Structure 1
């Protein structure tokens, strides 16, 4: 076997001790007799074994010349220091080692037979390029600073990861070009400087096996576990999305295990809420607090004893509990922090305050289920890492404050991220002008030549459903009052009761036969002004108290009316809007990655959305109609998904309602501007206003010559006016039919003329549904209803 087997490299590796022997040739004339004699001894080995000078790559040579190699490397690997120094002889950037100190061999033996030595911080795809950079230094004299710290990660006898830094001594190496080497020019060098990641370019300039590495390197290796653990803590704390990753705390605990040299320790955090003087759990996946255990928050005075409270909160100093069992006995279980550790089976712990000049921000909790392993002595290791933890918590608090502001902006304003740059630009100009003492009016924000997209998923028959719920509530309220008055007339035979019962019956008949808009107001006024005084009078009658109490407990304080069926309706609308808007928001994240565009949605009786796409919004010269077509297809597909999601959830809603979906296609680009008074975007100009008119009226439009609405349950309606739009959307429909999103019953209909708008048409096609997310079958609306009701 050969060292170069299965290695993709620009270097042909030959182990040679020629440069080492040349060093000894200089030493043979040394005045020190021992040094001179030793040099003669080494050179005698070289003379008798010329292959050691010439170079070799066959593994068998190491076996046959093992004794001789040990002799010539004896000065480098001193027997006196072999148990202390960590040293190897090898070739650079490879894990092949042919000589090492006893200390290094012991470290590998402890790691176990299944451990494979591997360099860290040197990605495989960069090894080739790094070797080429060495060639540029050795053969062409370019002073490239390409060196990166290299490490071994090797577990100790307790399974704790230790870190070893590798420093190369390359005094005994040389590199020479082979026949297939490409001469590197200044232009080549300049090109390579800007293309470190371009592996193909480097292989072009430095073909496989085009240079020969002759010699060996001595690796001086140092245990840098403490330094690397601190570095790893810094890197881990800098990382984003920490609290979303379940493995974060496992990895973080592992780093502290290396720092302390202890296998079974865990790390937790608790946040200090200054306003409430309480500790709170850090929210996030895998986050623990051993001070709080299973509680979400706890008052500091209840979580700590007086001494530990002063230590952490007032003095901002850490403390340890080396023996929880002993401390529990001494405190007789009265120290809260000791008791909570005892309950969790923890035997030793360190509590460290995370504090800055403004005071305490949180607590770092390090715990172990072994007594005495955490104590006041090794707690001092935290001195070097606490500044980084403090910085990370400060940054996290700032990030959280920024996130809160971002959520407020997202949920409470209409400034979408896609146009935020424009508002930011105007805000900067506003501030600059104000500081310069010039006109500081906030300029109009407008975008020209952008394409609009509009869609809605509307609750079908929402007005009828609301009226029906109102009728049922009024009827229930009237019948309840009527029953109380009937009971009262049996106790007191007063004609006035019969008069009120008659009026109640009249109202019941009216709402059943011809319910009108003002019926609710009339009935509410009658009950409030006429009936409630009577009920208060009747409350003195013992037999009626329970009935009257029951009645008033069912009256809603806000509406001053019976609010049962209307609540079911309102709750259903709210749930529908919430779920539909949530799905749309999730899908929008993907759409923005395709191409940035403006997006807004509104919750009404359903969910409607506006989108605007164009170059003036992105402020880049990158817009192409393909992005518009892509967004239109995305919109159609998402509308189908929203329909599916709705009917999959329909049975969970308090009442069953149907929805109908519509997309409005507008062929021409338009302009929009931000209306400061209404805090939202609106179209500019008379011509563009036509688009808004159509948006507001088209979902109520009838098909020409009929009384059938264009929007129907179970169907997607695509409203348009231009022939090219029809062709475009028929293509999208055909594609979605192939994916079983849509049925084959495509129809094209003309719409009746709207005020100031004529010539509208619509494509209607049925949606194919699935009973649930995992259901592979698809159903028409009628099929789905039969399945749901079955």
Structure 2
């Protein structure tokens, strides 16, 4: 029975990978009945439908296999010059990559020249192991002294595809059959080298050790293992598989998980190129969410990225938010069919039709009403619809851990400003987490705080005046529209609307309230602008007034924003001047001792410095005193830069300067659930934070005026020891001509929960 069945399937056989068979499962019901006697059931469950004839198995392998395969004939004789080994068989893919002719040829230097030098050396090493195995069998009569793992160790080489020009990564392995290579004679030189290496037959372990360590005697043996020193015959099978995608992913992950920031570096350019190569994409982008805003970064291959900002609310219903909510890769096959938010519309306008969105979700910025918290999202695009498939999604999923780690590190550098002085501790923690260890708190204990603020006084009044001016201008334009309409439309309601607008203008000219900016603009939208179409239909004069109204509206803010734009520009210039001055001083301050410095700019700037041995192990008391004195010099320089403010910007705003002294240390800890990089730990340290928030508005307990005054430096302290130290610093500043010699002193009126603070105040001299 078995012989009959074997006869039926012997003509075409599909290969079992282990046995080298090729089995053809093209059976019919009639074929099966011929193989079975009446009433018998065959041992195999053979498919009934008739399969079409297939090509001979060799032609399938030769022309259609995606594997790289070649059989090399090995034949050398002792004392004869080495000759190129002929290729007995090579399939089309092997020829395509190596450049040898399809009809045959030689595995000569033309193949090796296409490899990198390191790959040439490694491939020759793989061949040498097979010859060594055959040599050991000839000399000692033992098979398998070289382990199969070493004989079949894979080697990844890079070869250019002759048809596409693209570099392909191919994993090659060399194999021989049980009797694949046979050495029948060796030269005296090789025999002597063999005896010098092993006087007795070596063990399997000894061979493995020598291949690893390559002691001098073994190196001499390998040097003597040349084709002219032995007679050999047999064949070696070269087989390989294209692993370009795997190796590209590997290289990409290695770039992403490095200790340095990826964004804004050469490493990012490399990672971005690999990302696009891996997914055959034409472009990529980043989406970062912080607080209530999202930023879209495009044109990542350009020196200057294009940045677009959107409110978090504008992401609701978007594919971007779907990706973060599901915490999985989302494929958008055709963006033109799924484009509901401004961000997606902008992407479509830039030519993106297909999107592959890779979310990087972690405990940071909150995205709207979503429970997912996202530090960023990496996207790749194609101008073609349906450019990505499920295989791309699966491949992208494997990149999420590395991308998340890279984005966490880079976003901290780019957006939350992890200072170089403490970055080492964050890198240390990232490495721990990458090893699967539980998270550990990032704490710096026993550091000295140094706080200072340069506050723009009068900025709130200045902004209110700008709001008032813009609102009056917009209401006057609206009144012009209604009055023009009233001259053509005989309607009592139009007249009443004009009177309402006149009343609002009269109220605005007196002043604005906290909610005026929002409520009055909503009033104009709901009561006036909504009727523009009706007014324009009945009056050409009203139509012209409407055009004038719309021309005055700022496109980005949806209202008249002229005076406020001037205010914003002025505040920006002042903050920029103060920030630039402070950053210049930071260079000399960091030279004293490495310390953490956080600078925030709103209406002025405030700085928070932490210094101590937890950050700089070489920290000493002298460095602390030097840093404190340098802080005072830097703040005085900021004060000097502000003296020309009134003349330069035609404003009543002034700048005040304050330094808060604390003689004892605090502990700071990083908490991912808060916006700040560090928070103080403990109730004693919290007192310092309370003082920081309220001290710039504090008043003199006796005189009642603010302790900070324009053009003056105010120092707030608690103890006599602190005052003695800072009195000396003020004397030094006077000696340098930086401040006046007269020092005003007083007591700070009690703050909520804090009392007993004192202050000293000196006038800063112009340069």
Instruction: Please give the range of the TM-score, normalised by the shorter of the 2 chains.
Output: 0.3 to 0.5
TM-score (ref. length: structure 1): 0.44
TM-score (ref. length: structure 2): 0.45
